[in-house]
Structure 1
Amino acid sequence: MTREKIIRFNIFLFLLFTAISFAQTKISGNLFDNENNLVSNVTVVVYDNNDNILSYSISDLEGFYNVKFTTSLKEVKLLIKAFNYEVVSEIVSNETQIKNFSLKPTVTNLREVIVKESVIRKKGDTLSYNVASFASEKDRTIADIIAKMPGIDVLPDGKILYQGKPINKYYIEGLDLLEGKYNLANKNLPYNQVSKVQILENHQPIKVLDSLVFSESAALNIKLKNNVSVTGQAELGFGMNPVLYEANITPLLFTKTKQILASYQTNNIGNNINDQIKTLTLEDLIDNFDNNNEKEDWLSIQGMSTPNFSEKRWLNNRSHLISMNFLQKLKNEYQLKSNISYSNDYFLQNGNTTTQYFTSLDTIRLLETKQNRLFGNNLETNLILERNSKKNYLKNKFQFKGFWDSQTGFLNQNSIQINQRLTNHFFSFNNNFKHIFTLGKQLVTFHSNISLNKTPQSIIINPGQFPDFLNNGNPYEQTNQSVENKVFFTNNALSFTKALKKFSISQRVGFLYENENLDSQIFTNLILVDDVEFQNKLNWNKAKIYSQSQVQYKNESWRFDVNLPINYYNFAWNNFQDYKENKNRFVFEPRISISNEITSFWKISTNYNRSYQFGDVNQLYNGYILTGYRNIQRFNSVFPEMINDGFSFGINYRNPVKSWFGSFFYTYSILKNNILYSVSINQLGASELQTVRIDNERKSHNLNFKLSKYISEIKSTFTLNSSFSKSTFFQLVNNNLNEISNNNSVFELKINSEVTDKFEVELKSNVVFSKNKIQETENKLIANQLHSFNLNFYPKENHYLALKSEFLINNSFTTNVKSEFLDFLYRYTWKKKNIDFEFQLNNIFNTESYTTIAVSDFSYTETNFQLRPRQVFFKMRFSL
């Protein structure tokens, strides 16, 4: 065993034994009344010497309680409280033991009180957040409320995280209407129709597997106030500078057997409605990845780094979205679902970029002025038949995706005018079938997935690029690059799952096959470059036979998950029939996960996994492809092979009684690669990418810390997030081997506080530090700061005033760049008709541009982005 392997193994053992070494005390027993009847719903609380709660438990229907805690004290206080029973208080030794108690009945005299529902309640693996406790006068949709809840984060694109991890399902009354596209509901469901937001911890979406295969992920469930809800919202707005408009009509219907969400939305005010049809849930994202039906962009115009703050300040758009989503319960627990979405978009980007490429010998500086026009037409349809019962599971999902996109770019590079025209299409048919049923005393799972994809793309660039490469050193008028990729993919598997006491044992075998055909040509002045170095006719075949053994163990506090996949790969490809390759690989990819719920509040986990990645079509073509006006690349080296070893350790804390939530995660990974990317950059910024056979490693460290607290007395949520990452690797730049180190740190503070009934404060501060080191040369530390501060006033009933500000500081190559934004909003609510009338004045200071810095492996790019001007806008909104 090599020294490095010993070090990695010791790291894993340290994390493993750290998880195991926490000394945990368990006190359990039964609770009886004076007639020896079992008493349920009794609260058992463990306190330390200072009356701080260490843990708690609630007795079940059998009168059984089980409380777990960790402390160095020799003794703790046990307090047992129940309605109409005397309180029991006893000092007990800090050791695992069984203690039964007999409760004495008593009469509890109640004074007149106002009963308020708990802000957060925990029952089993379910946390229930009371929506009314987090709502304020300005809120309109359930998304506004969820963003305030401790333990939950909502990212700018709408993705919901619980304890730092993405949710795996988003339900409305226990039904998955939207198949992961939950922004449609989140941003359009009025919060006053919702009673509770529930977090379902350790959620297994497939009911028949619920007691067999555990999950470490959480789901979110929306509990409505009424059994039948006909709701939704409608918005209509118009404004000036230039002519502005917005419309949103989204009716929703929820009954016990049917759910419907329909939506038409359009605007040109910087609202990116495409975020509402993005797949966001973890389970559905994994399905899309496994189905191999995601769009891949082979070609692109020269893009711009978009600002990292509110899109409404910089997104110059004209957007339309139509979405129809339907779920109907059928007999025998079947469900029929359909999801259809069509979007039509136009985006305009104006600005300029300054890029500095760092090599070990010199620095290359490139100036570009850009205007990009992006056109999108996207259609996606899903038709789903599903049965999710405790006895069996069946789901068949048929999906079609169509993208008819085009882009134009007008660019001035050092006084040279360059025009780019891109046609970017994609078409995909996919059918995914899964059936789980009982055979004897075990469960059998059959899974089959088939997809067909086609990606025709082309780019035309004027004047012609890379004349030394493509035209014997002579300037020419036009370059035309075309690419077409066709893909057939199928993955079929059969698995058997059996319970053995507290163990779950699964065996899965399967077969995967993929065929891709890549054709590419380069034309100069409409004449084909008749050289195999600039063409591709690549036929790619990948076959995989796999066997996976999985063992899971679960008791009251411990969870073990061991996956032992053994995979056999066969890769075969040829280009122009005269270049043929064939590779066979037999690999073992173990994954081990251990977690322990130390107490009702604390949970620790550790993981190890090894994975292999092999080259695919976009890493194997040996004919040049012009991927952009100044990027040309090919891969003429050996077959790419990567081995990734990953270690992680995490601590979670959640105390719904005190509304405290926190998490800490550390991950370490080593990626071994048999090739290096070699980049050659000339003084005009044009780059050539090739591969070279050199063994190398990429090492990465990541730390993440989150802490949030809700204080009900002042209706305030405080959240602190931070992360640190460091990666070291090698890169060939202009034929020089460079060791590169990238360091990034992020600090974020969020406060939402209702100071009084008439005054509310929202604060968010985000600071990002980035630093790049090449060999022994340290480049400038880049700091991006974003601070937002909102003041919300409720001067009298039905009136709402808001001042919303953003302050940004970015240090560019030469100086610090500061940007300030201020918006004003006034809303009057006609309560009788439930209609809002709004007046908005956005970008009061008329800030015209914004400068930001992006750090890549060996370059810094400073982007000056043109923003939207000052705008006046009027809006009317009402609930349906």
Structure 2
Amino acid sequence: MRNLLFTFILLPFFTFSQTLTGVVQDSIGNPLQNANVMAKPLVENAGLKFSIADHLGRYKLELEKDTPYEVKVSYLGFKEEVLQLPANFTIREHIFKLKETGQELKEIVINYDYQPVIVKKDTLIYDVKAFANGNERKMKEVLEKMPGVEVSKDGSVTVQGKKVTKMLVEGKSFFGGGTKLAVENIPADALDKVEVIDNFNEVGFLKQVSDSEDLAMNVKLKEDKKKFIFGDVEAGAEVANDNGFYLGHAGLFYYAPKTNVSYIGDINNIGKRTFSFEDMMRFQGGVSSFISGRKSLTNLYNFASDNTDVVENKSQFSALNFRQEINSKLDIEGFGIFSKLFTASFSESQNEYLQNSAFTFEDKTSTTQNKALLGIGNVKLNFSPTNQSKWFYNGQFQASSNDITNQILSVRDGSQNNFQNIQNADNSQWKQFLEWHKQFKNKNHTTTFVVNHSFENNKPQNTWLTDTEFLAGLIPLQNDSEYNIQQVKKVKNNSVDALFKHYWILNNFNHLYTNVGNNFGTTQLTISEKQFLTDGSVNDFAANGFGNDLDYVLNDFYVGLEYKFKIGKWINKPAIYTHFYHLKTKQITSDYSLNRTYFEPQFNSEYEFNQSESLKFNYKLSNDFPDATRLLERYTLQSYNSVYKGNALLKNERFHSASLRYTKSSMYRGLMLFANASFNKKIRTIRNVIELDGINQFSTPILTDNPETNWRVNANISKKIYRFRLQFTTNLSWFNYVQTLNGTTTSNDRNNQSFGLKLRTATKKWPSASIGYNKDFSQFSGLTKSNFTNDRISFDVDIDFLKNFNFKTDYEVTFNKNSNNQNNRFAIANAFLSYQKKNNPFRFELSAQNYLNNGTKVNNSFSDFLISNNTTYILPRIVMLSISYKL
């Protein structure tokens, strides 16, 4: 029986495929890296096979048995060589020796019906028809079948282990360049080719001198889609129970040589989001990539990422993207986004507050309703007066509002307190930047000038309602039957940043870059807290140290020199920057100013072993000045159990940061490896000093010389084994810091370790399936010791059957264990059954979300002084029937 089982498991490996390996060389035996090796089947209904030679010229082809092939090898500037292989061939290794043609070609051109992959210096071009079988609906399903391409559940895309940071369609940015909107909405049958461009730069003549880490994916449309309206619409409704769940979606695209318009609309109450949080941050950006973005006070997290961890969720979303070519020199492109969201959530938590030798326990129940609106409009002008000159102007306006009602029941020592917190926030923001890039006639000198401006106006308001006195001794309450405390904030941020950068190419191995810039920012912040009594009188907290009025100015003028040189395969770029900082604040009772000059060195180094293997090192010494809220001189109310007071005399933090990254990919070995180690050390640190009384907290920041260190190591290793791909991931972190709590200073360690193993199929002939296991460990050591463990097992399958049917399912079960050996388990599973005839525009799908009808999720967490066990209630089972129509 054991031998029979062993034979059954190994049968797919040895029955249906045979392997041909070897080397591609020139006439004198030198390896030809990136040579294309194509195997054309000489019978019908068999797929094309291909391989790309690695840096040693090695290739590997996994061919079908009982199938004859014609193997053809192509390489830049060399004549093709052909090998005929009969069915069930016996040779297992063959060396190709190519002869030079004497011609210089700009790229590898494969004289063949298919061109599955074209390899250039920093570009891969995938021919979609070599990978798609015609049953794919969206771009995501096509990408998943391309070698070296991975698409995650959140819509992010990686190619050979590197994340795609810019999405283009026909060479133009698609909805700000995010990947999720593209891969989940562009129809699969509109794709012709997919280009992957490493070290991407929107300005072509800057590519030689810039150190871009961007990886762009450019979608080429089929000829009949380049002046065509295409897309799909979908509608769905619940067919089990009577909860009123629904879904509506539309993705409509019009592409013409000079005009592109895309519209995406979505309405549902099943927790589905059209775009990810990363996309939201991209839309919120509106700043030049040459100047690091400033912190925004507007929190847009609720608008992004799927959220089923609620008891109710209603979402409406509309987005319009356009591009218009005015003439050969000027393009206008932009997007508009509108989102409306309502969520209701319910959670329970058991909290343990650490207070030196004592502990306080709280049982907390929280019910929250959130109504949110968001509107974003963005327009960008691309002007190219000459081939050596480029102008960009980008303007963005953003408005949002959040209305949150939070009911809190806090039970402690047998007594309970009820709180209602009402939050209203109206926010608006205007951002714009202007860029000018110029390459001079001799092409050894290039100049960039950038000006970035941002204005932000936020008006958050908070109201706390309760029938019980709270925060005794921390806020000046007057006795009353009902307590009504209102807080009003007004925040205005204004910034202007400018940069002038000159690139001087001394020769092919030495570059010199000069930087002169200035970052100027102001903040006007006012906060008031008042108690409105039932007799109509008002208790203004300002008389007791509350209420803040702050004018804040921070200016950073800097000059920097960067020297980039190359020794063989080793590229180095040391840099020295001199920063002249000026900080000034004006408050109710005090004025404060600070002037500092700092040298901030940087060092970047990269060693490229070959085109598929590299090692990179980065180091930087930085200074970070406190923002306005940390400098507030008076008290402010933060929550039902927290009061905060800033420190008007704070100075800057100072820290070292370094990282080491190693990447390797080999199609010959079916191996992809990514590893990164980073180290951050603050030698001057701002950290809150905390006073706890039961659950009540008072905190204020201080500047200390106590160092903080943070180590992080993460790695991702993927190896193809026969028709499977095995993936191992790990994330490790060690964080050490000093915390003062109730007058006692302790050294704390907060560490996390995560390990994951995943096995999935890696052949188009089998159903797509994977099984994974993740193990997480968390430790906290300080006033007390805590340990959490988390085990997660996942499974998913995607199978086509009976020609027109498709079935997908995913299952994930999680086991949590806390320091008291309490165990919790929860499982989430979803399933989708769809039917669509080939070339028929209609598609029918029956879906079951959370079909196990699990009602809660449990997780554990800890902070500087709090250990918490949380239970979150989630959406119930949702069974829907949806119909979609493809234009």
TM-score under structure 1 length normalisation: 0.83
Deviation at 1:244, TM superposition (A): 1.0
Match of 2:180 among 183, 198, 208: 183
The answer to whether the 8 Å contact 1:553/1:559 transfers is yes
Deviation at 1:117, TM superposition (A): 5.2
The answer to whether the 8 Å contact 1:169/1:281 transfers is no
Q: Separation in 1 of the partners of 2:57 and 2:831?
A: 52
The answer to whether residue 872 in structure 2 is matched with residue 865 in structure 1 is yes
Deviation at 1:520, TM superposition (A): 0.3
Instruction: Write the letter of the residue equivalent to 2:379.
Output: L
Match of 1:527 among 539, 544, 549: 539
Q: Provide the secondary structure at the position in 2 that maps to 1:469.
A: coil
Q: Separation in 2 of the partners of 1:804 and 1:101?
A: 48
Spell out, residue by residue over 1:136-165, the C-alpha distance to the aligned partner (whole angstroms, 9 max, x if none): 787532234445656555455433345655
Q: Separation in 1 of the partners of 2:228 and 2:739?
A: 58
Match of 1:550 among 542, 559, 562: 562
Match of 1:16 in 2: none
Match of 1:626 in 2: 637
The answer to whether the 8 Å contact 2:553/2:584 transfers is yes
Match of 1:702 among 689, 700, 712: 712
Q: Separation in 1 of the partners of 2:380 and 2:374?
A: 20
Alpha-carbon spacing, 1:81–1:598, altered in 2? closer, same or farther (3 Å): farther
Match of 2:815 in 1: 809
Deviation at 1:660, TM superposition (A): 2.4
Q: Separation in 1 of the partners of 2:792 and 2:306?
A: 10
Deviation at 1:517, TM superposition (A): 0.7
Q: Provide the secondary structure at the position in 1 that maps to 2:629.
A: helix
Deviation at 1:434, TM superposition (A): 0.5
Match of 1:466 in 2: 471
Instruction: Write the letter of the residue equivalent to 2:395.
Output: F
Kindly, what percent of the aligned residue pairs are identical? 17
Measured on the aligned residues, the alpha-carbon RMSD in Å equals 3.8
Q: Provide the secondary structure at the position in 2 that maps to 1:841.
A: strand
Alpha-carbon spacing, 1:635–1:237, altered in 2? closer, same or farther (3 Å): same
Q: Provide the secondary structure at the position in 1 that maps to 2:707.
A: strand
Match of 1:330 in 2: 326
Segment drifting more, 547-556 vs 868-877: 547-556
Deviation at 1:664, TM superposition (A): 1.3
Q: Separation in 2 of the partners of 1:739 and 1:285?
A: 41
Alpha-carbon spacing, 1:659–1:789, altered in 2? closer, same or farther (3 Å): same
Instruction: Write the letter of the residue equivalent to 2:197.
Output: L
Q: Separation in 1 of the partners of 2:810 and 2:336?
A: 36
Q: Separation in 1 of the partners of 2:725 and 2:229?
A: 31
Match of 1:341 among 337, 343, 348: 337
The answer to whether the 8 Å contact 1:316/1:868 transfers is yes
| Number of residue pairs aligned between Structure 1 and Structure 2 | 799
Match of 2:803 in 1: 797
Match of 2:45 in 1: none
Aligned ranges 1:37-116 → 2 under 5 Å: 60-61=76-77, 82=81
Match of 1:565 in 2: 577
Match of 1:749 among 751, 757, 761: 757
Match of 2:199 in 1: 202
Structure with more relative contact order (C-alpha pairs < 8 Å, separation 6 or more): 1
Deviation at 1:344, TM superposition (A): 0.5
Q: Gaps spanning 5+ residues in structure 2: where?
A: 1-22, 29-33, 38-51, 62-72, 85-92, 103-110, 533-537
Deviation at 1:604, TM superposition (A): 1.2
Match of 2:70 in 1: none
The answer to whether residue 444 in structure 2 is matched with residue 448 in structure 1 is no
The answer to whether residue 782 in structure 2 is matched with residue 774 in structure 1 is yes
Q: Separation in 1 of the partners of 2:698 and 2:147?
A: 48
Instruction: Write the letter of the residue equivalent to 2:124.
Output: L
Match of 2:363 in 1: 367
Q: Provide the secondary structure at the position in 1 that maps to 2:864.
A: coil
Alpha-carbon spacing, 1:514–1:862, altered in 2? closer, same or farther (3 Å): same
Q: Separation in 2 of the partners of 1:769 and 1:792?
A: 31
The answer to whether the 8 Å contact 1:181/1:280 transfers is no
Match of 1:259 in 2: 260
Alpha-carbon spacing, 1:397–1:642, altered in 2? closer, same or farther (3 Å): same
Alpha-carbon spacing, 1:52–1:140, altered in 2? closer, same or farther (3 Å): closer
Q: Provide the secondary structure at the position in 1 that maps to 2:491.
A: strand
Q: Separation in 1 of the partners of 2:763 and 2:59?
A: 29
Q: Separation in 1 of the partners of 2:283 and 2:604?
A: 18
Match of 1:140 in 2: 137
Q: Separation in 2 of the partners of 1:52 and 1:235?
A: 43
The answer to whether residue 360 in structure 2 is matched with residue 355 in structure 1 is no
Instruction: Write the letter of the residue equivalent to 2:317.
Output: L
Alpha-carbon spacing, 1:121–1:681, altered in 2? closer, same or farther (3 Å): farther
Match of 1:386 in 2: 382
Deviation at 1:490, TM superposition (A): 0.6
Match of 2:44 in 1: none
Q: Separation in 2 of the partners of 1:783 and 1:395?
A: 50
Q: Provide the secondary structure at the position in 1 that maps to 2:801.
A: coil
Match of 1:580 in 2: 591
Match of 2:169 among 168, 172, 177: 172
Match of 1:11 in 2: none
Q: Separation in 1 of the partners of 2:816 and 2:133?
A: 34
Q: Provide the secondary structure at the position in 2 that maps to 1:124.
A: coil
Match of 1:246 in 2: 247
Aligned ranges 1:411-426 → 2 under 5 Å: 411-414=408-411, 415-426=416-427
The answer to whether residue 846 in structure 2 is matched with residue 839 in structure 1 is yes
Alpha-carbon spacing, 1:206–1:283, altered in 2? closer, same or farther (3 Å): farther
Q: Gaps spanning 5+ residues in structure 1: where?
A: 1-26, 33-39, 64-79, 92-99, 106-113
The answer to whether the 8 Å contact 1:377/1:405 transfers is yes
Match of 1:720 among 718, 728, 734: 728
Q: Separation in 1 of the partners of 2:663 and 2:688?
A: 39
Match of 2:650 in 1: 639
Q: Separation in 1 of the partners of 2:25 and 2:827?
A: 61
Match of 2:500 among 481, 494, 504: 494
Alpha-carbon spacing, 1:472–1:319, altered in 2? closer, same or farther (3 Å): closer
TM-score under structure 2 length normalisation: 0.82
The answer to whether the 8 Å contact 2:750/2:780 transfers is yes
Segment drifting more, 452-461 vs 693-702: 693-702
The answer to whether the 8 Å contact 2:715/2:729 transfers is yes
Match of 2:3 in 1: none
The answer to whether the 8 Å contact 2:298/2:427 transfers is no
The answer to whether the 8 Å contact 2:199/2:207 transfers is no
Aligned ranges 1:157-306 → 2 under 5 Å: 157-162=154-159, 166-226=163-223, 227-239=226-238, 240-275=241-276, 278-279=279-280, 287=288, 290=291, 295-296=296-297
Q: Separation in 2 of the partners of 1:375 and 1:807?
A: 31
The answer to whether the 8 Å contact 1:159/1:280 transfers is no
Q: Provide the secondary structure at the position in 1 that maps to 2:851.
A: coil
Q: Provide the secondary structure at the position in 2 that maps to 1:779.
A: strand
Match of 1:19 in 2: none
Instruction: Write the letter of the residue equivalent to 1:127.
Output: L
Spell out, residue by residue over 1:589-610, the C-alpha distance to the aligned partner (whole angstroms, 9 max, x if none): 2221111211233211112111
Instruction: Write the letter of the residue equivalent to 2:318.
Output: I
Match of 2:699 among 677, 689, 701: 689
Deviation at 1:324, TM superposition (A): 0.9
